[in-house]
Structure 1
Amino acid sequence: MNMILSYTFEIKFGPYHQKVTVTMSPFSLTMNTLKDVAIKFIETMCPDQDIKSLNNRILLFKYEPSSYQMLLPLNPRDILNPECIVEVIISQCLVNT
């Protein structure tokens, strides 16, 4: 049985942020699918920016105010928490995925 569920979380890139909802199977919940969501978000919020090789330069973190570091590497399961805030950072260098 392949369940389809909706996950709602906040995504943030610089001064831009919004709640997003993705609908997918829990088995499809991967870093690549979350990167795709982040790319669409950036393209929507910053349509005038021509950012090359975005897929290979995106880093995703979760905002954790109770942690000393505040930004921790994102695990796809983190978005199961509706309070999750995903911070998108674009690296200058290509990132190995």
Structure 2
Amino acid sequence: MYHTAALPAQKTKYSILHLNIFLLVGIVVFGMTYLFEINSLSTKGYKIKQLEQKIKTLEVANKHLEVQAGSLQSISRIQEQAGKLNFVPIGNAAYIKDSDFALK
């Protein structure tokens, strides 16, 4: 009788030990996963901040280029360049009319 009564108590000790080990492993795994995710999120946040700064820099450069393109396309600039290249101003332009021959 003594031997059979000790057997369930021993099973209970082993089942509690297994439960404790399982819980400890679970806590360690979840803790490591948490640390990995926090590290990953902070790294992504840093990269996003760098990209936002790059976007601001590119937007400023784009505005400068738009202003420069506008000044290069102005009528006065085009007339100045035409004069430097010795272009001759046009007089009376003769245009070809649409005819049935041209449409065929």
Same fold (TM over 0.5): no
Tell me which of the two structures has the higher relative contact order, counting C-alpha pairs closer than 8 angstroms and 6 or more residues apart.
Answer: 1
In terms of fraction of residues, the more strand-rich structure is 1
Choose 1 or 2 for highest CA Rg: 2
In terms of fraction of residues, the more helix-rich structure is 2
